[in-house]
Amino acid sequence: MGFGQHQSFYFRPSWINKGLTHVNQNSRFFYEKNHFEVLGLGKNMAKSLRHWLIATNVIEEQKGKQTVHAFTDFGNVVFRYDRHLQHGLTLGMLHYNLVTNKDIATTWYWFFNEYRESVFDRERLTRSLEKWVEVNGLKSVSENTLKRDIDCLLNMYSLKDYKQLTPEDVISCPLENLEMVSKSVNNYYTKSFADVEEIRDILFMSLLIYSEKHGQTEFAVEELAEAPELWGKVFNLSRSAIVEYVTQMTEDYPLRFIRTNKLDTVLLTKEVSSISALEERYKQYSKEVSSYA
């Protein structure tokens, strides 16, 4: 389990590009003594950047005589097609990779996959995380570490009132654009469904990743709505929203929707890798942009 590795910083808009660019040039970059100066960041921010690159699965550590960092397949695609995070699809996949990474980003996994409340404040959220950590036998995690995780998570995802913020806080995390957590009156927060133009692409790619990870190609709608790492949990979608999206997606994606009196089921009808499907979608984006140029 991984807690508190972000050094209290969420990743900034330019960080993914910076990290990928330097790792592409030097697989030992983050072990160079002056790497944080080259990045233009403080030492703790540089540690945070390395954490987010790994937690979102754009790079991985490879151990040998010397530990190096290398692009994952996903990181390769992001670096080639959207290193500046211009597409909602990229944000959606960064989010999906992060919140299904239980070992490295445990609090993020818990919040999106285990925590069932849709309205909460920081104190309630922290108490719930503390209880979950205790129940799961992780008593060595300090209360302050869990509080820092909750603060970082909410700052990372929640839409902000920029009139009330300091210059440092005005710099938002790109995942804020998914609009999945909003702050309401009396310092309460609300989970919201991911509402971006590319949501259908995001749902399809995430289903492919889940299928590759778990060897599953058939899904009950109830499973899509309630199981960890699937649509209802990860993207805050209701069962009715899932049914609506699946109905739309059967026209353009290799999905089949079987409706019966007892069980509604979604089938992946074509074997396709998540990486090849992702790359093909970025190529299509490029064609669409060129057609308008």
Report the C-alpha gap between 150 and 144 in whole angstroms: 10
Least confident of 75-79, 106-110, 229-233, 268-272: 268-272
Helix or strand holding residue 100 (H, E): none
pTM score of the predicted model: 0.94
Lowest mean pLDDT of 131-140, 151-160, 168-177, name the range.
168-177
Of 92 and 186, the one with more pLDDT: 92
| Average pLDDT estimate for 249-261 | 94
Query: Are 124 and 132 contacting, i.e. CB atoms less than 8 angstroms apart?
Result: no
Helix H or strand E encompassing 251: none
Q: Work out the angle at residue 8's Cα, subtended by the Cα atoms of residues 189 and 237, and round it to the nearest 5 degrees.
A: 35
**20-49: per-residue pLDDT in tens?**
999 999 999 999 999 999 999 999 999 999
Tokens of 214: 């778990």
Residues 270-287 pLDDT 10s: 999 999 999 999 999 887
Residue 164 is predicted with a pLDDT of 55
Q: Which is nearest to 275 in space by CA: 106, 138, 76, 96? A: 76
Residue 169's pLDDT is: 53
β-bridge mates for residue 189, sequence order: 120, 183
Least confident of 83-87, 101-105, 171-175: 171-175
C-beta atoms surrounding 146 within 10 Å: 22
Beta bridge partners of 256: 267
Average pLDDT over residues 175-179: 94
- Mean pLDDT of all residues in 104-126: 96
**Average model confidence (pLDDT) for the chain?**
92
The pLDDT assigned to 170 comes to 60
Please give the radius of gyration of the chain, using alpha carbons only, rounded to the nearest integer: 19
Instruction: Look at residue 291 in the predicted model and tell me its pLDDT.
Output: 55
What pLDDT score was predicted for residue 194? 86
| Nearest-angstrom CA–CA distance, 68 and 40 | 21
| Cα separation, 103 vs 105, whole angstroms | 6
Do strands 265-268 and 218-220 pair parallel, antiparallel, or not at all (unpaired)?
Answer: antiparallel
d(CA 78, CA 95): 13
